[in-house]
A and B are shown apart, each in its own frame.
Chain A
Amino acid sequence: GDSVTQMEGPVTLSEEAFLTINCTYTATGYPSLFWYVQYPGEGLQLLLKATKADDKGSNKGFEATYRKETTSFHLEKGSVQVSDSAVYFCGISQGGSEKLVFGKGTKLTVNP
Chain B
Amino acid sequence: EPEVTQTPSHQVTQMGQEVILRCVPISNHLYFYWYRQILGQKVEFLVSFYNNEISEKSEIFDDQFSVERPDGSNFTLKIRSTKLEDSAMYFCASSARSGGTDTQYFGPGTRLTVL
Cβ-neighbour of B42 out of A46, A49, A104 (below 8 A): A104
Q: Is the CB of A43 within 8 A of B106?
A: yes
Considering the complex, which residues of chain B in the window 47-103 have a beta carbon less than 8 Å from any beta carbon of chain A?
Answer: 48, 50, 55-56, 58, 91, 93, 98-101, 103
Is A99 a contact of B42 with CB atoms below 8 Å? no
Q: Mark out the residues of chain A between 40 and 60 whose CB falls within 8 Å of any chain B CB in the assembled complex.
A: 41-46, 49, 51
User: How many of chain B's residues have a CB under 8 angstroms from any CB in A?
Assistant: 28
In angstroms, Cα B6 to Cα A43, docked, is: 10
Instruction: Report the interface size class on chain A.
Output: 20 to 34
A65 to chain B, nearest CB (A): 19
A97 within 8 A of B: yes
Give every chain A residue within 8 A of B45 (Cβ-Cβ): 98-101
Assess whether B58 is in contact with A99, with CB atoms less than 8 Å apart: yes
Q: Which 3 A-B pairs have the closest CB atoms?
A: A98-B48, A99-B45, A44-B106
Could you list some 17 contacts between A and B, CB below 8 A?
A34-B103, A43-B108, A46-B104, A51-B101, A93-B99, A95-B101, A97-B56, A98-B31, A98-B45, A98-B50, A98-B55, A99-B45, A99-B56, A99-B58, A100-B35, A105-B42, A105-B43
